[in-house]
Chain A
Amino acid sequence: MASANISVTRNRKTSFAKKRARAGFYFVIPASIFVLVFFLYPFLNVIWMSFQDWPLLGERSWIGFENYRTAFQDIEFINSVKFTLLYTVIVTPLLFFTALGMALLIKGTSRTTKFFRTIFFLPVVIGFGPASYLWYWFVDSRVGPAPQFLRILGFGDQEEQWLGIMPLALFVVIVMVVWKFAAFQMILLMAAIQGISKEILEAAEIDGAKGFTLLRTITLPLIKRTISLVLILSVAGSLLAFDQFYIITGGNPNGSTLTTVFNIYRQSFLQFQLGYGAALSVLVAIALMLISLIQLRVLRGDDHE
């Protein structure tokens, strides 16, 4: 603190410290107002709404835990949670191992390496919206290049829409997400790997560690904290998936790819069951809070410890 080192008479020092404290408070006021109005108020509001029957038009009424009771018996909600978990369980390891492989490939500093790094990263910066519409077209059985490519390779006539068949529709979204997002994790893992000191790696090499042994016994343990960060970010992001399913599968075939957030969107904004939508939102918020608490615990340490 700057004020601590400036020795004047005692009195003047306290008033100086007070002034500084007030100045500090002024600096955070504008941001705090935004957070209070556009985050804390709606957050308290969502809890309050979740205890009410709240149609868009017409009377609302306090119904206690009824919305929550409904949720736990609502097949559509339960299925959406199951599907979201399935998606998360599949996409998280796929993303991670792809990203780790890419990070090892481009962790150098040569110009060629940087060039490849930039190319790999391009899909990350384009939004989920355009990326999803791109893939929606890319896999269309009539006009899409992907089915056409398989046709050329001799894999049948590809007449059926991939997005109309269940495991295939999920598979398309997963490939798209890995394509779009792996490089994000790649950059974080790469930075962590670059941070490992050369001496450690060289010492391990002299001891005879090579290839995957080196990776498994030295590198990965040393970047444990970044791995946790990447995994938690990926789990949290997957549990909140919406854009890619809304656009690519529309929740189909037969509502089998309806995610939790997609379900909330339908309850709140298509059927206007705002109270029920709020209750589902609270349940999602609780799940995500638990994950964040794990995150804070895990991330307290540092890499290279």
Chain B
Amino acid sequence: MEKYLYIALFAPIVGSLIAALFAQSPKNLFTGIFTSALIFVSFISSMILLNYVDMDKIVHVEMMDWISAGNLSVPFGFVVDQVSVIMMVTVTLVSTIVHIYSIGYMEHDESFNRFFSYLSAFVFSMMILVMSDNFIGLFIGWEGVGLCSWLLIGFWYKKHSASWAANEAFIMNRIGDLGMLMGIFLIYWNIGSFQYDVVFANIVNLDPSEVTWIGIFLFIGAMGKSAQFPLHTWLADAMEGPTPVSALIHAATMVTAGVYLIVRAGEIYILIPEVGMFIASLGAFVAVFAASMALVNKDLKRIIAYSTLSQLGYMFVAAGLGAYWIALFHLMTHAFFKSLLFLGAGNVMHAMDGNLDIKRMGGLYKAMRPTAILMSIASVALAGIYPLAGFFSKDKILEVAFNNGSYLLWGALFVGAGLTAFYSFRLVMLVFFGEKIYEKDGIHPHEAHPFVIYALTPLALLAIVAGFFEHSFHEFTTQLLSDYEFTLDHSVGAMLIFATSAMALSGIAYAVYKYKRGGFSENIENWGVYKLLSNQYYIPKLYEVAIMKPFTALSRFAWLNIDNKIVDASVDLIAKTIYGGGEKARKMQSGNLSSMLRWMVVGIVVLLALAIFYRPTV
């Protein structure tokens, strides 16, 4: 089985490196097909491993010693257990589809090969992240996906906004990563090991306050990567990257790494329910907060990005309340329908010549029927309508919140479910139905390549049926994760399901009803609430005024006064002294043998003087 582990892990990097060889050359279809094939191989290996792990076996390998210094010993170890294999399958499946999709999506891009190199490198980093058996390996993968995310958001680096967004994402992640590093250091400080099994075995013996700090710091790391409030602004801006990137990294895989971390470190969080409660509250807040921003946004991709944010909030609620398997389940189903939604949005975007304003679309159903159907499926799944995948996972999260007795959380999530349904169908209605506004802009939409559509069908299929695997998923993951006990009555559960479904359905119905009749009137845009929402609660503005401006001023001050006048000046002084000395000493090198000989005699005199007057004390 180790063979499959290594294949699953290293196939992507092989593809990436080979694609990188062609990075400077013009578009080469081979790189796209080759990398896709290797990711597919990785997916197959992951499936084989899934099958193997299903038989109650865990693959644990130590490839080699990596760091061993003093008491510190960090091996390059990988583990395939119930949690990581789920992540592996999800990641490789979505990656395969995104790779194939990208062959069509990026076909006119001059940096086609480079794109695939980055994309495969991302998959490799993600695999390291999920497969590592220790925190250091996790951190390496964590940073690796951060790097690839930076490369891919800034893929069209000639566009100023793209490179700005890439830097924003990277810097925001740095803040989170600092927290994560602190957490890892604390773990090592207290336990003396990075290995998951050792850490989890010894964590119970620690002082609760220490454990709390560890939990908080690790969660700060998760907040950065999963774009939780207040580090959330980068995710919406990250939509500057190519759409397949948004689908893979900023919806399905990388942003869920934070959830994965919490699930993986579940044994730590179980000891500190207060921190878990905080995580859940923050998650619920973000779920509503992000959904509200999605209500009014006009940018196709940003709407989906906010929706991702909101769904991540749901996952954190589940993870924070200790229902790890539900968090993981929602993570998986969400990966399917959200990447489908994004990839469909990519098709729409291509059809609209890169225009993303949903107010300028409408009536695309005729022109792009398959995409419309796929996106509708994804939206229904996202809204959580029976029998699609979202229904099962989202309802479970609501049930957990209710079961836990935190009715406030439940209420927030309940409202969030309605909002989700509304904005999803606002999007669908505005894009695919109604008046054909795009015709005014002289755009002639066209459907994407057939193979692109075919590549998306597995995702659509999974978005429909993934929910039915709930029971086997539950059994499978709770072999490793701690189970969550439902104490609710059956009738209460049924009531909850009914209520949530009704909420979602009414959200959909309202959206359909309203936008069928031409949507809201224009003067809604003058409402204070609308302004607040469309400006993202003025948080980016606040960051700009409160953090960026003072920091820029400080940097300017440091640059002009400290760097230029003190640091540079002193360095320049040294250089000028040496340069001036050299200018003077240059005359020595007249090339005249006689003067050289004289200098030689000077040297002899100096050495003799040293020999006489300098006596080292023996």
The answer to whether A and B interact is: no
CB within 8 Å of B: which residues of A? Answer: none
Question: Which B residues are within 8 Å of any A CB, using their own CB?
Answer: none
